[in-house]
Structure 1
Amino acid sequence: MNPTLWRRLLAEFAGTALLVTAVVGSGIMATQLSDDIGLQLLENSVATAFALGALILTFGPVSGAHFNPVVSAADWFLGRRTGTGLSARDLGGYVVVQTAGAIGGAILADLMFRLPAVDFSAKHRTGMDLWLGEVVATTGLLLLIFALARSGRSSVAPAAVGAYIGAAYWFTSSTSFANPAVTIGRAFTDTFAGIAPSSVPGFIAAQLVGLAVGVGLLLALYPSVGSAAGDVVVAHPDDESVRS
């Protein structure tokens, strides 16, 4: 039995907020510490990877630590036939709180560095090359998460998912947003990690394509992957201390 819905939604809100705080905050700090853009990206990616792993460990036992509407949507879709994973009601709640948390996280990072709370980004990120990068990043993320769950290795998800996102900063042209909620949140800060609001729809569309490609590959590679949807990203323990 999973924790009650309101507790899971709170965990998804807080976890997504802190994730975006880490992404944006480390980007701001990187620009303050170095003038070299390669070093700035290294600092930003390392901080994000470690923060993501820690947040999955923290919130995974409560909500599964999705922090990402694409992961939640795949969890709902793949689990429908086996009665596992998120319900449609849960999915709607997850997407709303993840998006709200991402916006709140960007605002929190700006305030910590004495910047305007909301300053929409002027950094345009558009073009087929960047959209293809988002398809690749999102597809790879879903393959990793659900393959770990299907093979009973969800316990290594914090390290594996953090490592993947840290690496994808470097091997994708888009620096691997791979998350519609985080993409929206990053539009609220005109800093290193920002994205112009006009560029957000293209990124989200590419992420949804990645969702479709990732789900299709998962069904081809792991036909029974839906049975493991309840273990994404981290299995929910049947422990009274967590539920109560």
Structure 2
Amino acid sequence: MTAFGLSRRLTAEALGTGLLVATVVGSGIMAETLTRDNAVALLCNTLPTGAILVVLITVLGPISGAHFNPAVSLVFALKRELSAADAAGYTIAQIAGGIAGTVTAHLMFGLPLLGASLKARTGGAQWFAEAVAAFGLIATILGGIRFQRDAVPWLVGLYITAAYWFTASTSFANPAVAIARSLTNTFSGIRPIDLPGFIVAEIVGAIVGLLIMSWLLRASESAPVLSAEARL
């Protein structure tokens, strides 16, 4: 049981998601300003995102669990480690925080507070990539909690850094972040019309990740007994 009340946990979730989105959107804007090379721009977007995740999970994890992601909160609700009411509150806080993060990034770079993205991100390959990204994120979190809890901030940061590059969608893996990114017509944006496909894929990937990792990580009821012949 956490020592922190719900109001502080929700604030931590909103703050963490906001800072995450401000980093994603802000580093994307900075990258577009500094280079016209898309590969370099993506690298400039990737490294700050992975780095801020390590910081945010380390600092805010002890307060709220550092989900910053409705798909992650859904998984913990399905595991009965988070009540349905708290999961709903987390999701609202994450979405609100993410939108605030986009506004923050826009204010820092002198852009209009919000603007619908025109960047198309759609199609079967993109949706499958998002499902893979979310699956891998959940696998990383659950495996890390089971075997190396103190390393979870680094594991998640490194996973997202890698997933930016090995997934066709650049690994949103987060419905709240996807919604926030639909409100910026900059490097990291996604058209609002493309959101449903991404969000469904992220949720499906997260649930599949939960199912597979629950089976993989389940403790054996008894150690296997070798026959006399097998021991020879």
Report deviation, 1:216. Answer: 1.4
Q: Which residue of 2 aligns with 1:103?
A: 99
Q: Which residue of 1 aligns with 2:176?
A: 181
Q: What TM-score do you get using the length of structure 1 for normalisation?
A: 0.88
Q: What TM-score do you get using the length of structure 2 for normalisation?
A: 0.92
Equivalent in 191, 198, 201 of residue 196 of structure 1: 191
Equivalent in 131, 135, 139 of residue 131 of structure 2: 135
Q: Which residue of 1 aligns with 2:56?
A: 55
Instruction: Tell me how far apart the structure 2 counterparts of residues 206 and 89 of structure 1 sit (CA, whole Å).
Output: 23
Partner AA of 2:106 in structure 1:
D
Report deviation, 1:222. Answer: 1.5
Count the aligned residue pairs: 218
**Alpha-carbon deviations, 1:12-58, whole Å to 9, x = none?**
00000000000000000001111100000001000110011111111
Equivalent in 163, 166, 169 of residue 168 of structure 1: 163
Query: What 5-or-longer segments of structure 2 have no aligned partner?
Result: 220-232
Highest relative contact order (Cα 8 Å, sep 6+), 1 or 2?
Answer: 1
**Alpha-carbon deviations, 1:78-107, whole Å to 9, x = none?**
1x2xxxx21111101000000111111011
Report deviation, 1:208. Answer: 1.3
Query: What 5-or-longer segments of structure 1 have no aligned partner?
Result: 225-244
Instruction: Tell me how far apart the structure 2 counterparts of residues 114 and 68 of structure 1 sit (CA, whole Å).
Output: 27
3-state DSSP of counterpart to 2:23: helix
**Alpha-carbon deviations, 1:158-194, whole Å to 9, x = none?**
1110010011000000000000000000011000000
Instruction: Tell me how far apart the structure 2 counterparts of residues 167 and 183 of structure 1 sit (CA, whole Å).
Output: 18
Instruction: Tell me how far apart the structure 2 counterparts of residues 187 and 105 of structure 1 sit (CA, whole Å).
Output: 12
Partner AA of 1:150 in structure 2:
R
Could you list the runs of 4 or more consecutive aligned residues of structure 1 that deviate by over 6 angstroms after TM superposition? none
Once superposed, what is the RMSD of the aligned Cα atoms?
0.9
Q: Which residue of 1 aligns with 2:230?
A: none
Instruction: Tell me how far apart the structure 2 counterparts of residues 26 and 134 of structure 1 sit (CA, whole Å).
Output: 21
Whichever of the two has the greater Rg, that structure is 2
